[in-house]
A and B are shown apart, each in its own frame.
Chain A
Amino acid sequence: MPEVKIIAKNFMDMVASLPAMKLDKLYDNAFICEAILRSLPPLAKKYVLQMLYIDSPITAKSMEVWVLPDGSSKHRVAIDRLIQLRVFSETVDRRKETTYKINPTFQTNLQKLLTHGEVLPREPMPSNITVRLPSVEDLDVYAIGQWECFLLQLISSAQAERPSNISSSMMKVFQRGLLSQRDKEAPRLTESGFQFLLMDTNAQLWYIIREYISNSEERGVDPADLISFLLELSFHVTGEAYNSNTLTEVQRNTIKDLTDLGLVKLQQGRKESWFIPTKLATNLSVSLTDSSSRKQGFVVVETNFRLYAYSTSKLHCEILRLFSRVEYQLPNLIVGAITKESLYNAFENGITADQIISFLQQNAHPRVAERIPTVPENVTDQIRLWESDLNRVEMTPAHYYDEFPSREIFEAACDHAREWNGLLWEDSKRMRLVVKAEIHIHMRDHLRGQKQ
């Protein structure tokens, strides 16, 4: 089975990997254009804006004129990204001059957005039909509750308080890569599973959504349609009700699944039913970029390695258990300690020190979040030290050579290995040397040449 590697927030890569035809079709939707624009690196955004009203191709040279020497790498990244996403098309003419042109569909859609401002994908329902709309706070609580319930179910199906509508086959898809299932054994979290739990909510959400999208073809849904619907959803206003009648059949099924993830809340009126997007849904297009979510933290770490987590969530407790020893659990507080044993446990499971530290920093309680550093330095240093303790021995595959016929040949071999930057060890007295495994072939060729 191929290893599912967790790279957070790589949704745009997924969009970029779509076949050209589908990508062009995707750009027919103005919301996608907007989301794509927002996901671009800052410099790329600027280039798009600059080219928006220019119809003729622009030479690469004239664009480079704008860039300071310091920014040339950023410039290249930006241009590569734009070409990868087919926002820019690159042509090289006979005089070897590179020109860029902006994708016309993308261009017209953005032009429309500029002149008309942002438009909503659908009108919210009037408030006289939807009587009891939840408040923003209620909706947030609901969304987080749903999401945590889903996560708990994901990591251990037994612990979930109530079963969700997500079919077990769908759950299996999500669990693929996160859990390792062996026969007659309780499923265990894999290395990437542990890493997944330490990511922030937006990154987790995107991981799940990505799996959901890549699995869509098996369910007979076009991934491009799904992507465009999800992005469109992120442009709805949080807390407003939208009529379910405006959705297509496929979208309605999708909405049901999204309810279980906490992205939307479904409500049934007397005649009509409607869906209310939550913060998680509207954050979808934000999480495309690097900005992290703005949720309130709950962890306080003290210089004595004690950890206080003001949380009632079972999930938080489970996460803290990954790298600390939970000592007691009060109704709203989890007290634990970061110990060498608990950290070794975490490292064995494939969690890195940096992940633990960034988790502690990102989830810092508001009281300590203002302080710099949020996590005491002695704790972060110690966590890193304990990790490096485990990596005291570095393994490098190598080849060992001895019994050189003469000193000249030995010296030449050493020099050759140095040239390839692969000499690991030499003993000139007894004429022995060790080189990296990857340059063995070059060494062999070199030594053969010497013999002749």
Chain B
Amino acid sequence: MPSAPTKLYADDVSLLVVLLDTNPFFWSTSSLPFSKFLSHVLSFLNSILLLNQINQIVVIATGCNSCDYIYDSSLSTNPGIENGKLPALCSELLKKLEDFVTRDEQLNKQHSLPPTTTSSSLLSGSLSMALCYIQRVFRSGPLRPHPRILCVQGSSDGPEQYVAIMNSIFSAQRSMVPIDSCYIGSNNSAFLQQASYITGGVYQKPQQLDGLFQYLSTVFATDLHSRAFLQLPKSVGVDFRASCFCHKKTIDMGYICSVCLSIFCKHHKKCSTCGSVFGQAQSDVASASNLKRKTPET
């Protein structure tokens, strides 16, 4: 028997959390200017809102030092009243985005970190913010739209965020929230491939960035209900490589703590995560068998 709460919403009502990459290090090198990218994304957001009156959009900016909510359609003021020219969604989002970017830049100066560590965006932070938001919606009452997360990411993976990202991915999997990823950088992102693979989302790397809107509207605008009937892009191969916990390097062979499954690139005397004491690696031959190889799945 269908229960009442699930029937209160139509099948295709969605809550879409979009994670926008605002990393200046990536956008300065990208072939697609940030302004053009934004106009594609804004049209896409408009189209989601257009599809259903109760569709909801949350936009989270992923900077390289911080993350923040920059738009929430359920909180937005009445459209159209603001200063005439730009519609509310654009003006509100752009203003918040600008504030965010300046703040993020100032943080960068304060920390004065070496530029090598800041070249990746804080994807783990924005992922967890998105999941927190979705959890709050889940708990707010019986009326729930179908939530999903869309990462529009350009900068390359930061191996130092490996653990945090994997944790977010697994919690998204547990709460049945698919993570879609649209990767616009040069190489494939192993994190996002894994995220989409594990949570049942769609990973796509658009071939032509000029037509980004078409990619977004054909693939990522599909609501979860319709996905059951449609052929969406399938990932050809997923890079399952992990990062080691000691030097945050991406490795395909390493040592694993037999107690807590932490990954290391070198042999250690003691596990840095759980403190278990390891025995001496007997010989090169024996230690080679302890090395676990993770091969990309095809």
Q: Contact residues of A with B, CB < 8 Å?
A: 34, 37-38, 42-43, 45-46, 49-50, 52-53, 65-68, 70-71, 74-75, 110, 113-120, 123-124, 237, 240, 285-286, 289-292, 294, 361-362, 364, 369-370, 372-374, 377, 380
Contacts and interface: CB of A to CB of B under 8 A. Distances in A.
A361 B4 contact: yes
Contact of B225 (A42, A49, A117, A286): A42
B87 A119 contact: yes
B230 A71 contact: yes
A294 B3 CA distance: 15
B229 A74 contact: yes
Contact of B47 (A49, A119, A286): A49
A285 B50 CA distance: 12
13 contacts: A34-B50, A42-B223, A43-B230, A53-B214, A68-B230, A114-B46, A123-B81, A237-B78, A289-B52, A292-B7, A292-B8, A373-B3, A380-B1
B210 to A, nearest CB: 12
A34 B46 CA distance: 12
Interface stretch (B9-17, B102-110, B201-209): B9-17
A114 B47 contact: yes
Interface in B37-70: 43, 46-47, 49-54
Nearest to A362: B4
Interface residues of B, number: 43
A114 to B, nearest CB: 5
Contact of B230 (A53, A66, A285, A294): A66
B46 A117 contact: yes
B89 A117 contact: yes
B231 A65 contact: yes
Contacts of A124: 78, 81
Given A52-B217, A117-B49, A290-B11, 6 more contacts: A49-B217, A67-B231, A117-B89, A118-B80, A291-B9, A364-B4
Contacts of A46: 221-223, 226, 230
B52 A374 contact: no
B51 A113 contact: no
Given A118-B80, A289-B10, A66 B231 contact: yes
B12 A45 contact: yes
A219 B46 CA distance: 39
A368 to B, nearest CB: 9
A198 to B, nearest CB: 16
Given A42-B12, A68-B229, A292-B8, A53 B87 contact: no
A169 to B, nearest CB: 34
B8 A118 contact: no
B8 A285 contact: no
Contacts of B228: 68, 70-71
Contacts of B4: 361-362, 364, 369, 374
A143 B296 CA distance: 61
A74 B12 CA distance: 14
A102 to B, nearest CB: 13
Contacts of A49: 47, 51, 217-218, 221
Given A52-B217, A119-B79, A120-B79, A291 B54 contact: yes
A109 to B, nearest CB: 11
B198 interface: no
B229 A117 contact: no
Interface in B188-225: 213-214, 217-218, 221-223, 225
Contacts of A372: 3
B11 to A, nearest CB: 6
Interface string B70-98: 00000000111100000111100000000
Contact of A117 (B9, B90, B230, B231): B90
A285 B214 CA distance: 27
B237 interface: no
Contact of A118 (B10, B51, B87, B142): B87
Contacts of A43: 226, 229-230
Nearest to B79: A118
B176 interface: no
Contacts of B9: 291
A117 B221 contact: no
Contact of A373 (B1, B49, B142): B1
B5 interface: yes
A38 B52 contact: yes
A290 B230 contact: no
A294 B141 CA distance: 12
A244 to B, nearest CB: 19
Given A71-B229, A374-B3, A116 B10 contact: no
Contacts of B1: 373, 377, 380
